[in-house]
Structure 1
């Protein structure tokens, strides 16, 4: 074992054998914002064998306060988050295999990426996607680590198929507040606290130290000095549609029907076209109506007080409205 990981190897619960296991494992991180980018950096520095990172968004200046992998240059160039993250991660540890995907997470797109995945880290801010994850990873028997944060609060829980309550069980017992970073803000230390717990649980799973796993739901409020762990064993439901005795995995069919959605708290609508865009051709066409900004991955265009960001995979983010009807109306004027 080279000197790079010597301090981690000296930590007795990991040791030489644990380090070898870490370097043989594959982790998928769903979301590459605050939680995802920090978890990715921690795992890359720890020597993970392979990281698959998935995100549908691009870097904006408002991300820089808490999303530690990104720079001002990334925001100016509007780089997709997974591309900016991959660039930085390869500088941190060139030995890590990084598979980056600019895409919307759906049941169909995710299932194709789960081959030989040992663990998934939840770093999304969207509960529709989390419920899809919950169904899919129960179906595929893949452990995953839930994490969320807003304001100065956060929570984390490790979900083990066939052993622990699943996310649907947990949220049936304790529904989320509905607050988002875009509505009430967030401080960076809250992100780092969730990440510390997620990465630590990940390392326990990667070195196969099941006895050390935290079995309780963790919650905290840094500003108000609250820290709590809750026994949620009784939340597991025998009739749960995800982890019960006769699961139906209903969210795996639901998402495939969703083509348009409002991004919570962001005054942004996403439209999925169901076909790829030829970005070069699209940019040339849009230039007749106004200034266009492009890079290899997106076309950005302002029109009628709205900002459109087109991705090659057929998605469009329409900033400046939370009205699906208005967004679709202007979208069809531009795209047909």
Structure 2
């Protein structure tokens, strides 16, 4: 063992044996934004064997405030985040095998990436992908660590298929708002706090110290100094469609996935979401972003050069573009 990891191996819960295990483990990281870059750097510096990074986006100036690994040069070159991250991570630790995928993650292209993975870390920005991850990890029996943050608040939970409640159970026990960084902003310490919880749990799993894992959902607000640890073990349900006795893995079924289509001749993209949208709650989140109009049936927002019309049944029309990719990004920015 060289001196590179000497301070880490001095920590008894890891030690030389734990470091050897780390060097043989493969982590799948989905999302390479604020949570993703910080998680990636910590894993690579810790000396894992292989890291697979998935992200669909490219580096923009607004990312640099909180997304580690990226530089102004990456922004000027409009590098895909996965590629920019791989370049930087390779410079940090060339002994780690890093695989980068520039793609819009879905139930089809994610499937082969779950083979031979020891841990999945959530660094995504929307619940469509999280539900897909939730189903896949239970199919493949791979642990995963959920994390989210917005404003000064964040949360994290560790899912062990077969032992803990899954994301479906979690959200029924502790519903999460659809607030996003684009509508509420975010401060960098919030990101770092979530990553600290995620990375600590990740190290425990990778060195196989399962008895030390935190069983509670942790939530916090760094600005108002509030921390809560919520015991949700009893939230696990035998009838759950993902982790119950007879799983059907609903997020992997086509009819339950968010669908997008161009409306011919209208310069509009229609998005059919998978959940009901509370218009009153959405209005409060979006009112500061542009001119807002609302009736009992729908919500209309003038945002940048677009008009976004949100229906209560989850359907959204994005006027002003015929690009599925542009519409998708706007949808996740505004709807969450």
- Specify if TM > 0.5: yes
Task: Give 1:45 deviation, angstroms.
Answer: 0.3
Q: Could you tell me which residue of structure 2 aligns to residue 116 of structure 1? A: 116
Query: Take 1:187 and 1:106, find their aligned partners in 2: how far apart are those partners?
Result: 29
Query: Take 1:320 and 1:54, find their aligned partners in 2: how far apart are those partners?
Result: 29
Partner deviation per Cα, 1:189-224 (whole Å, 9 max, x = no partner): 000000011011000000000110000000000100
Pair 1:131–1:261, CA change in 2 (3 A): farther
Q: Could you tell me which residue of structure 2 aligns to residue 16 of structure 1? A: 16
Task: Give 1:107 deviation, angstroms.
Answer: 1.1
Task: Give 1:177 deviation, angstroms.
Answer: 1.2
Q: Could you tell me which residue of structure 2 aligns to residue 63 of structure 1? A: 63
Q: Could you tell me which residue of structure 1 aligns to residue 253 of structure 2? A: 253
Pick which of 125-134 and 320-329 moved more.
320-329
Q: Could you tell me which residue of structure 1 aligns to residue 49 of structure 2? A: 49
5+ residue gaps, structure 1: 263-267, 272-318, 332-336
Query: Take 2:232 and 2:319, find their aligned partners in 1: how far apart are those partners?
Result: 41
Q: Could you tell me which residue of structure 1 aligns to residue 34 of structure 2? A: 34
Pair 1:177–1:86, CA change in 2 (3 A): same
Q: Could you tell me which residue of structure 2 aligns to residue 308 of structure 1? A: none
Say whether the 8 Å CA contact 1:45–1:92 is kept in structure 2: yes
Q: Could you tell me which residue of structure 2 aligns to residue 222 of structure 1? A: 222
Task: Give 1:270 deviation, angstroms.
Answer: 10
Q: Could you tell me which residue of structure 2 aligns to residue 149 of structure 1? A: 149
Q: Could you tell me which residue of structure 2 aligns to residue 163 of structure 1? A: 163
RMSD over equivalenced CA pairs, Å: 2.2
Task: Give 1:258 deviation, angstroms.
Answer: 4.4
Query: Take 2:4 and 2:200, find their aligned partners in 1: how far apart are those partners?
Result: 19
Partner deviation per Cα, 1:78-130 (whole Å, 9 max, x = no partner): 11000000000001000000000000111111111112100000000110000
Query: Take 2:87 and 2:255, find their aligned partners in 1: how far apart are those partners?
Result: 31
Q: For 1:260, what is the secondary structure of its paired residue?
A: strand
Q: Could you tell me which residue of structure 1 aligns to residue 318 of structure 2? A: 324
Partner deviation per Cα, 1:128-147 (whole Å, 9 max, x = no partner): 00001111111111100000
Query: Take 2:13 and 2:324, find their aligned partners in 1: how far apart are those partners?
Result: 57
Q: Could you tell me which residue of structure 2 aligns to residue 231 of structure 1? A: 231
Pair 1:18–1:261, CA change in 2 (3 A): farther
Q: For 2:178, what is the secondary structure of its paired residue?
A: coil
Task: Give 1:32 deviation, angstroms.
Answer: 0.2
Partner deviation per Cα, 1:7-27 (whole Å, 9 max, x = no partner): 000000000000000000000
Query: Take 2:323 and 2:190, find their aligned partners in 1: how far apart are those partners?
Result: 39
Pair 1:217–1:330, CA change in 2 (3 A): closer
Task: Give 1:256 deviation, angstroms.
Answer: 8.5
Say whether the 8 Å CA contact 2:44–2:96 is kept in structure 1: yes
Say whether the 8 Å CA contact 1:82–1:101 is kept in structure 2: yes
Task: Give 1:327 deviation, angstroms.
Answer: 2.0
Q: Could you tell me which residue of structure 1 aligns to residue 192 of structure 2? A: 192
Query: Take 2:74 and 2:228, find their aligned partners in 1: how far apart are those partners?
Result: 37
Task: Give 1:259 deviation, angstroms.
Answer: 4.8
Query: Take 2:154 and 2:80, find their aligned partners in 1: how far apart are those partners?
Result: 26
Q: Could you tell me which residue of structure 2 aligns to residue 309 of structure 1? A: none
Say whether the 8 Å CA contact 1:107–1:255 is kept in structure 2: no
Q: Could you tell me which residue of structure 1 aligns to residue 295 of structure 2? A: none
Query: Take 2:210 and 2:39, find their aligned partners in 1: how far apart are those partners?
Result: 20
Q: Could you tell me which residue of structure 2 aligns to residue 286 of structure 1? A: none
TM-score for the superposition, normalised by structure 1: 0.79
Task: Give 1:55 deviation, angstroms.
Answer: 0.3
Number of residue-to-residue matches in the alignment: 279
Pair 1:258–1:231, CA change in 2 (3 A): closer
Task: Give 1:326 deviation, angstroms.
Answer: 3.6
Partner deviation per Cα, 1:39-96 (whole Å, 9 max, x = no partner): 0000000001000000000000000000011001111111100000000000100000
Query: Take 1:242 and 1:21, find their aligned partners in 2: how far apart are those partners?
Result: 30
